[in-house]
Amino acid sequence: MIKEFLNPDQLTLGLGKLAAKISPQPNVWTIVSLLPAIIGIYLIARENILWGIIMFILAGVMDAIDGAVARSQNRTTYLGAFLDGIADRFVDFLLIFSFLFLDLPDFFMPISWWIVIAAYFALMPTFIVAYANHRRAVPDPTEKVIWRILHRTEMYPLFVIALIVAMFSLTWAMYIIIFTITLSVVTTFQTIYMTAKKSKNYPQN
């Protein structure tokens, strides 16, 4: 939702110019952003939750850097956008998967089932928009035509917050996770509805 109403690209432009002095290659930042996420899930699996959280926060920051570097130098490419999308989904999955290493309580059904649901529905809206672009149902390269209740801009921080809360209360962490999952499920069906609705404005030739 934040992405549709604000312009995060402008907010990260200064960061991109600064990061470009370290490496002007946006794809390098995309690939490097995978490393802290991999380290993060390893640390959480080893019950070092605090440093795992720091690594996932770092992965999120570095994810913002790659696009900012590309925009600051007018070097945005279709390949870069593709690699960024793949890297984002990989990092998101690792973040969600990390909850399996916590002793979270069950809620109506095993918590592992909730994590499986999260892995599907938290990632699905992005794929819906990408597929709508691919099939030309709704041209939406900036992902603002098909607006979403829960975008990655909100989803990723919510899951990180759940990890932070887990250090103090596994029960409340579980509530945050299920709240985020619920929003993800609603967003998935909302995105399907918006795609079907908007596609009427783009009839096939």
Does residue 58 have a pLDDT over 80? yes
Q: Among 30-39, 41-50, 58-67, 127-136, which range has the highest average pLDDT?
A: 41-50
Q: What is the pLDDT of residue 67?
A: 64
What is the domain extent for residue 133?
2-201
> Residues near 97 by Cβ (< 8 Å), separated by ≥ 6?
41, 115, 119
Number of structural domains in the chain: 1
Q: Where does residue 7 fall: left (phi above 0), alpha (psi -120 to 50 degrees), or beta otherwise?
A: beta
How far is 169 from 174, CA to CA, in rounded Å? 9
Bridge partners (DSSP) listed for residue 109: 107
Query: Which residues, listed in sequence order, are joined to residue 69 by a DSSP beta bridge?
Result: none
pLDDT single digits (tens) 133-175:
666 666 665 666 667 778 888 899 999 999 999 999 999 999 9
Asked whether the predicted pLDDT for residue 25 surpasses 70, the reply is no
CATH number at residue 192: 1.20.120.1760
Among 22-31, 71-80, 113-122, the range with the most confident prediction by mean pLDDT is 113-122
Q: CA nearest 148: which of 178, 114, 193, 179? A: 193
Statement: the pTM of the whole predicted model exceeds 0.85: no
User: What pLDDT, on a 0 to 100 scale, did the predictor assign at position 175?
Assistant: 96
